[in-house]
Amino acid sequence: MAIAAVPAYLGKDFSQASPGLRFGMYLPLWGEDSRSGELLWTTHDYNYRSTGQQREERRFPDINKTAALRNALKLNKSDLATMAALSERQAALAKPLAVAGRLLTLHAEAVAPFTTGLGNEHPLENGFAFLNPYGLPYLAGSGVKGVLRQAARELAEQGWGDDQGWTNDAITALFGRAGANDADGETALQRGALMFWDVLPQIAGDALRVEVMTPHQSHYLQNGEPPHESGQPNPINFLTVPPGSKFVFHVQCDLPFLAQLPHPASELAASGRWQQLLSAALTHAFQWLGFGAKTAVGYGALREDEAARKQRAQEAQTQRVEAAARLQQQRLEAMSPQQREAEEARVWIDAFRAQLDAERKLNKYRAGSAFDQARAEVLRRALALQGEALRREAAAALRESYKFTEWPSKKERKLEVKQWLTQLDGQA
């Protein structure tokens, strides 16, 4: 039976551990000696200590690898809850920065498997990047910065059509500079204005995925033999985040630092210009570069999450409407009662005129419709007005509406409405 290389007091059931622990510390790859019961997790040991006979180097069988990876893939309820909580925490931290114009947030969706951290040390020789102490997959902010810097460079080279405004000065201002020498031969360093948050994928489904790469030329690449087509394939398993998983990119900008840089870099802080450039770099990275490891063979391809984009646009519109309503309310509260009445009356009179224009274009008036109800409400509110000019304005709008719909068919009702309009005109 395959076991993990951990003390016996930890037990053998690690199903409630995080994926990072199950893939790392608790991965059951090693077996037990069928004769002595000795745990076999050392590379070399001595079977018969009295004679000093040395065992051969042990390799865990492929069946152990497959079963171990399968056990590491599953996300339990605690993992899913932690994944959602981390996303909510990032969103809460991002909100005040976004309101202040110091953060760009972009939602994306994986269209191909995503993997990262393959170079990390691991018994299977292919690691994976898990965020400690949560043990969940993540893309380090430094990796995001590297991809977006390359995307900005490619756009600045103008070999990709519209450069979207990227220049070498903009790249230096936003990403910083390292490695260049100044006139005295010393290394000139400059920090950038951008800070890149770690990306925490919201995994589609309840498990990671195993992918396989099968190199056929190990005899040439490792043993120095001439390349040929009869090499033995060597399947190598590695972990990935499945397609359909959601990624949220948060990029923070130090606006005071950016504003104090020399011209023209300082102009990037005005009117959200840095956000426009970064959005263009992200779009380019989605289309041509990818994120994480093995991007040259299609891994890490992302696209903007269209549903999330529409939702953000709707939320932004709602926020603008609410902000405008708050400003209007503050204006009304600062006015005298007469001024407030006039301001509010013009709003609903104009709204009624707009509704009348819409009804004319449709030309489908029906007695007893919502338009009749709106007109009755306008008449009621107009009769309660104090200002003569406003009463006459409301009467004019109502008379205009009756030219479109004709007067009420009942004689008594028609006379009543005309008397009210005459009263509004100040002729009563």
Residues 259-264 have a mean pLDDT of 90
pLDDT for residue 50: 46
Model confidence at 55, pLDDT cuts 50, 70, 90, reads very low
Model confidence at 390, pLDDT cuts 50, 70, 90, reads confident
Partners of 212 in the β-ladder:
237
Backbone angles phi, psi at 170, to 5 degrees: -65, -40
> 110-121 pLDDT, tens per residue?
999 999 999 998
Collapsing DSSP states into helix, strand and coil, what is residue 159? coil
Distance CA 403, CA 410 (A): 16
Per the model's pLDDT, the better-predicted residue between 240 and 233 turns out to be 240
> 19-28 pLDDT, tens per residue?
999 999 898 8
> 170-200 pLDDT, tens per residue?
999 999 987 655 555 555 788 999 999 999 9
Model confidence at 224, pLDDT cuts 50, 70, 90, reads confident
Of 196, 191, 158, which is closest to residue 265 (Cα–Cα)?
Answer: 191
Whether residue 46 is predicted with pLDDT greater than 60 in this model: the reply is: no
pLDDT for residue 48: 41
Whether residue 302 is predicted with pLDDT greater than 90 in this model: the reply is: yes
Average pLDDT over all residues of the chain: 85
**Mean pLDDT: which of 150-154, 176-180, 347-351 is highest?**
150-154
Rounded to two decimals, the pTM is: 0.71
Put residue 365 in one of left, alpha, beta given phi > 0 → left and psi -120 to 50 → alpha: beta
Collapsing DSSP states into helix, strand and coil, what is residue 331? helix
pLDDT for residue 136: 97
